[in-house]
Amino acid sequence: MSLYLEIPQLNKQFPYRFLLNDGMTIVYPHWHKEIEIIYANRGRVNIGVGESVVTLEEGEVIFFASGEPHYFLASPDSERYVYQFDLKLFDESILRKETSLLSLFEQGERHSRNWPSSFRQTVIALLVELAELEEEESMGMNYLIMSNLYRLVGECYRSLPRKEEQVAVTPTAIHRKETLERLNQVFEYIENQYQEVITVEDVAKYVGFSPYYFTRFFKKNTGQTFIQFLTEYRVNQAKFILANEKLPMVEVAEQAGFSSVKTFHHVFKEAVGQSPLQYQKKMADL
């Protein structure tokens, strides 16, 4: 079964999300740049890691560093909490002599079964509190989430054991890391330029590829054409604006990167199933 790059739909301003999955939610082999933490809230969760399968017992935790492949198998009568966050959430300029956040998770022991008891209990308490926060709509909730995430990272620096055996870096892993780095260049370019006119030729030149090679590279590693991805990105930006601001549609279209209101309306309705105005009203009623 082939791997694919997952691109979680995280809020650009707050790149974190929580998922509650039952045991019959199967996820195929994938990898992504975000850190992913899984907590088995109920039952036993079967997770594919490389060529093996790890059974996460109830009350156990496992995490995956940026670029590490994993997948979920059917796990009847179970429930798992999934936390995904981009390391951009954290200000690494405050580090002193510590290793980078990327290295912290890459070199750390991923399975809580091999953690000190006190550290394991602290992490689980933080994860449970993060899950409980999802049920609240209190003011300042994102600050509470961030405080837990910073505490989590701080505890990992202090107590997370390093892997007993550092896994040899294979050519496949090197290729995957290089692919992720190149895709990150593309994503950052889009984040900075999506309000402007962007062509395949522009992005290909930016990452040092020919347009032909870039087109094949992007489709192979994301499952979408570049134009499909760019359109989806702009639609998501529009959804965020519509849900949080009261602006004329011409301004929403412009801020989301669409060339005209007519194009914005057509693309948005096709992607979302309702007009931008209908979506805005629906979000206002929540």
On the question of pLDDT at 30 being above 70, the answer is yes
Mean pLDDT of the chain: 88
| 1 pLDDT tier (thresholds 50, 70, 90) | very low
pLDDT for 210-264, tens place per residue? 999 999 998 887 778 999 989 988 988 888 888 888 899 999 999 999 999 999 9
On the question of pLDDT at 70 being above 90, the answer is no
On the question of pLDDT at 107 being above 50, the answer is yes
pLDDT for 125-146, tens place per residue? 999 999 999 988 778 899 999 9
Provide the 10 A C-beta neighbour count for residue 209: 18
pLDDT number for residue 174? 53
pLDDT number for residue 98? 83
CA atoms within 13 A on the CB side of 235: 20
For 30, phi then psi, to 5°, come to -155, 175
On the question of pLDDT at 106 being above 70, the answer is yes
Higher per-residue pLDDT: 222 or 95: 95
Q: CA torsion, points 171, 172, 177, 181, in degrees to nearest 10?
A: 100
pLDDT for 112-126, tens place per residue? 999 999 999 999 999
pLDDT number for residue 275? 95
pLDDT for 136-192, tens place per residue? 877 889 999 999 999 999 999 999 999 876 555 455 555 666 777 788 788 888 888
On the question of pLDDT at 273 being above 90, the answer is yes
pLDDT number for residue 2? 46
Is this structure's pTM higher than 0.75? no
The DSSP element (H or E) to which 282 belongs, if any, is helix 276-285
DSSP annotation of 111 reads: B
**By the 8 A CB rule, do 240 and 11 touch?**
yes
Contacts of 100 by beta carbon, 8 Å cutoff, 6+ apart = 92
pLDDT number for residue 105? 93
| % of the chain at pLDDT higher than 90 | 55
pLDDT number for residue 23? 87
pLDDT number for residue 183? 83
pLDDT number for residue 251? 95
Mean pLDDT of 265-271: 95
In one-letter notation, the amino acid at residue 233 is Y
